Every structure is written in C-alpha cells, then in structure tokens.
Amino acid sequence: MTATTTSTRTATPPSAARVALKSPTGRGLLDGAWWPRSRDLATELPALADVLDPLWGRITRVAVNPMLWPVVPRKVTVRDRVLKVGWFTPELDPHKLLLLSYGTGRWDLLVIPPETDAATAARFMTAACDPDGPPLTATGLVAAESARHHDAAVGDRPQTVEESWEYEGPATSTHAVPTVAGT
C-alpha cells in the first residue's frame, strides 16, 4: 500500500463537497460528516476546504488513516495555497478525518465511504450531527450501519446453518434438537 506521495495537482470535483456539520454548541466525538465522491484525496480535499474555510477558518492540515485511502498525498493544492496532509495508522479512526485550522481549532468529521447509498449516507450525516454527540465513534457508526444491513438481509431470507449457529447457538427454531427418551 502506498501511504504517501507528493501531489500538488489541482482538481475540482463536479460539484461542492457533501458535508453536514454539527452546530458550534454541539458536543461529542464528531463535528459532522463528509461524504466524498471518490477515494482520491487530491481531488476531494479542495472541495471540502472550499466549504469549510469560510465557516471554520482556513484549514491548514488534514490527517487521515490510510486504511481507506489508496494514496495519501503529502500536499494538496487548494486554490492559492497548499494543504498539508498527514496519516496515522493506529492513532486515528479509519472512518474519521481530522482537520486543523491554524489558531482556530480542530475538527473531526465522520468519513462516509464514497460507495454508500444516499439513504444510508443521510442516516450517517444525521447521526454525526446529533447535538449531544453521536453515541459511537466514527468506525462504531459504520459498523452499526453494516450490522443493521446484515440483520435486515438475514431477516428477509432463511438463515444458513452457519448464521443460525451464530445468532441462535446450536439449537434454533429451524433446526430440531435431538432428544433422548427417558432423560
């Protein structure tokens, strides 16, 4: 996996960044959510900075976990400046983007995977913007949504033997348990 490269290309996605932000008085682990259109940080970060700079002050640094990004550039050109990008593997939640604004502060955004459908992305954005803070970490929110989809899919069809064992143990309502007479 390539963790870092130098990239200063300027690319603009087809439209503005898809981002939802919590009110400034909100609490919790996340300050909002970002739903990029691709896993290309050099293309996606300029649009995100264009949205956030007027609200939060000039974003100067970004940190990501490279687990979900095929290439993490060290620098990304945003209009007339350079945005520095760093990566941290064990220290940073893979589904979170850390943003720093010089002299203004730090913000953490849930990164919604680009391939997420619109309805699921809307649920993620709502959860990340909960004024009291989402009850889970960024990865916790993604895992909960994945489990929700898995449970719905399992409920819509007969369970396999392995799923039956996983959810109900060796004795389930769809599998008879042998009994021995006289015990």
In angstroms, rounded to a whole number, what is the distance separating the alpha carbons of residues 113 and 48?
15
Mean predicted lDDT score pLDDT of the chain: 78
Per-residue pLDDT at 174 exceeds 70: no
pLDDT-derived band at 160, boundaries 50, 70, 90:
low
pLDDT tens profile 98-116: 999 887 789 999 999 999 9
pLDDT on residue 25: 76
* SS3 call for 128: helix
Q: What is the pTM of this model?
A: 0.71
In angstroms, rounded to a whole number, what is the distance separating the alpha carbons of residues 163 and 31?
37
Rounded mean pLDDT, 68-91: 92
Spatial CA neighbour of 31 closest among 6, 48, 12: 48
pLDDT on residue 180: 54
Per-residue pLDDT at 3 exceeds 60: no
pLDDT on residue 75: 96
Percent of the chain with pLDDT over 70: 71
